[in-house]
Structure 1
Amino acid sequence: MTIETDLLALEDQFWTGGPEAYIAHADASCLVVFAGMAAVMDRDAIAKTAEKGRWKDVRLTPTGFLQLAPSVAVVAYDAEATRKDGAAHKARVSSTYVKRDDGWKLAAHQQTEIAAEET
C-alpha cells in the first residue's frame, strides 16, 4: 500500500466509524474547518461529534495527494454520502496528517460542501 491509500483508508474510517476512529487516528489537537466553523479541537471533543451511523453509502474519490515531508502528508478527495436522515451530501475535502510513533494522525481537516448545481 502507499501512504495515499493508507490515508484514504483512515478517511473512510472517519466517515463510516464512530468515536473510536477519532480516538485512534486523530492527533491530540486538530484544526477543523467547515462552512459554519473553524476551530482547533482536541481529540476527545472531535470524537464526541462522531456518531456511528451518521453517514451511509460513502464514496471517496481521490483528487490529490502531497507528501510535504517524510512525516507530513495531505490527501484531497471528493466525498459523496447519505446522511442518516436520507439527505445527500457532497463535499470537497482535504486532510493533513502527521506521522507519529504510533502511526499517521489527523492534524487538520477541511470540508467544503459542493452545491447540487456544481455537479
Structure 2
Amino acid sequence: MSNKEIAATVKDGARWQDLEIELKGLVTPSYDTAILSYEARAKRQNGEPYAALVSTGYAKRDGRWKMVFHQQTPQA
C-alpha cells in the first residue's frame, strides 16, 4: 500500500480506549537500530477487548528515530 492508501484507512474516532502496554523486550542490533517487543491490551471503540503481541522496529536517520517496521499478532 502507498502512504496515501495507508493514511486513508485511518478514520476519525476509531481510536483505542484504555490502552495498556507492557514491554517484553528491546533488541539493539546496531547503534542506529532498535526493535521493541511488547504486549498491548485495549478496548475497541465499541468496547470489545483486544490484545496483541507487537513488534516495532526503528532506525535512526538524521538524528531522529523513524519507525521502519510494525506488526501485530492478535491474541485469543
Q: Indicate the TM-score class for this superposition, using the shorter chain for normalisation.
A: 0.7 to 0.9
> What is the match of residue 101 of structure 1?
62
> Does the residue aligned with 1:98 lie in a helix, a strand or coil?
strand
Q: 1:101 to 1:43 in 2, by over 3 A?
A: farther
Partner of 2:8: 48
Q: CA deviation at 1:58?
A: 0.5
CA distance in 2, matches of 1:69, 1:62: 20
Instruction: Give distance in 2, aligned partners of 1:107 and 1:49.
Output: 19
Deviation at 1:102, TM superposition (A): 5.3
State the alpha-carbon separation in 2 of the partners of residues 63 and 55 from structure 1.
20
Name which one, 1 or 2, has greater alpha-carbon Rg. 2
Residue ranges of structure 1 left out of the alignment (5+ in a row): 1-40
CA RMSD in angstroms comes to 1.7
**Which structure dedicates a bigger proportion of its chain to helix?**
1
In the other structure, the counterpart of 2:38 is 77
TM-score by structure 1 length?
Answer: 0.56
Where structure 2 has 5 or more consecutive residues not aligned to the other structure, the ranges are none
CA displacement 1:86-110 (0-9 Å, x = unmatched) = 1100000001111111511111111
Matches within 5 A, 1:26-45: 41-45=1-5
Report percent identity of matched pairs: 39
Hey, what's the Cα distance between the residues in 1 that align with 2:28 and 2:2? 24
Match of 2:25 among 64, 72, 75: 64
Higher strand proportion (structure 1 or 2): 2
Structure 1 consecutive aligned stretches of length 4 or more whose deviation exceeds 6 Å: none
TM-score by length of 2: 0.85
